[in-house]
Amino acid sequence: MLSGPEFFLVGLAAVIGGAVNALAGGGTLITFPTLTALGIPAVAANVTNTVALCPGYLGGTLAQIKDLRGQGRRLWFLIPAGAVGGIAGGLLLLNTGEQMFRAMVPYLILLAAGLLAAQDHVRKRLVRRAGHSSKSKWGEFWTSVPVALSAVYGGYFGAGLSVIVLAILGLVMGDNLTRLNALKQVIAFAINVAAAIFFVFSGNVVWPVALVMALGALIGGIIGGRLAGTIQPLVLRRIVVTAGVVIALIYLGY
């Protein structure tokens, strides 16, 4: 069991992570290393982190729900694809030994940092090609295959998942970035919730920590929403990416 100061540190990391997610993305690169630094085993830390940050995905989905109008058909096949992939990733995580997963952690963090760094480039490319695609509805259905594969990564670790999903949607679907971003948010929510529900029954969730983190992430999300417009997301993203690389190098030095 963590001490009082350690719970305070977990809550503070969750507040910062929630604010970072609201402003630029990449909050997991703050919360997950905090949990492992406090002695929580890597698999349990990842599971707890996924469950605790779940409410933040709901908030992001509700905030963009108006942009989902007219996309009901897409949701019928993309949400189940995301959910199935999320559960598969969660199952894969729970069947990965603690030592093996901890050995993979620095590379997963580097991957997440790389995805976060590429986010603006992906968005710019999608903006340039928005409205120029004439993909068929049948073609859109097959988007569920790469979405399900990306969801496996989401259920396994998750940081940087939104960048992957948005890139997949932009490559296949001819639509504007605002609507694709809203669709991405719902898919990420489905992946995270499916994995979280699966993890709830795994016995690996550190519930006192998860509850503190959930409250902290909620507060951080509110703070981040109010700070939007006063902090440049690109600057914050660069700070998070740099921190992720440093953290990965620290893990590699163990």
pLDDT at site 129: 63
pLDDT at site 229: 65
CA distance 47 to 210: 9
CA distance 88 to 239: 32
Q: Tell me: the pLDDT tens digits for 172-188?
A: 777 777 788 788 888 98
Q: How confident is the model at residue 166 (pLDDT cuts 50, 70, 90)?
A: confident
Cα–Cα distances in angstroms (integers) from residue 179 to residues 64, 169, 208, in the given order = 9, 10, 37
pLDDT mean over 54-72? 78
Q: Which two tokens stand for residue 206?
A: 């550190």
> How many CB atoms are closer than 10 A to CB 69?
9
Q: How confident is the model at residue 13 (pLDDT cuts 50, 70, 90)?
A: very high
- pLDDT value at 134 more than 60: no
- pLDDT value at 254 more than 60: no
The amino acid at 31? T
CA distance 199 to 91: 9
- The boundaries of the domain holding residue 52 are 4-252
Taking the complete model, does pTM exceed 0.85, yes or no?
A: no
pLDDT at site 155: 92
User: Look-up: residue for tokens 């992939």?
Assistant: 85
Q: How confident is the model at residue 58 (pLDDT cuts 50, 70, 90)?
A: confident
- pLDDT value at 164 more than 70: yes
Min mean pLDDT across 72-76, 131-135, 222-226, 245-249 is at: 131-135
3-state secondary structure (DSSP) of residue 94: helix
To the nearest whole number, what is the mean pLDDT of the chain?
A: 84
Q: How confident is the model at residue 132 (pLDDT cuts 50, 70, 90)?
A: low
User: Which phi-psi region, left, alpha or beta, contains residue 152 (left: φ > 0; alpha: ψ -120 to 50)?
Assistant: alpha
φ/ψ of residue 94, rounded to 5: -70, -15
Tally of domains in the chain: 1
Cα–Cα distances in angstroms (integers) from residue 207 to residues 13, 37, 48, 225, in the given order = 16, 18, 7, 27
CB of 42 closer than 8 Å to CB of 94: no
- pLDDT value at 205 more than 70: yes
Q: How confident is the model at residue 225 (pLDDT cuts 50, 70, 90)?
A: low
Min mean pLDDT across 31-45, 121-135, 217-231, 239-253 is at: 121-135
Q: How confident is the model at residue 228 (pLDDT cuts 50, 70, 90)?
A: low
- pLDDT value at 138 more than 70: no
pLDDT at site 139: 67
Cα–Cα distances in angstroms (integers) from residue 51 to residues 3, 90, 97, 200, in the given order = 21, 11, 20, 8
Q: Which two tokens stand for residue 114?
A: 């790389």
CA distance 144 to 13: 34
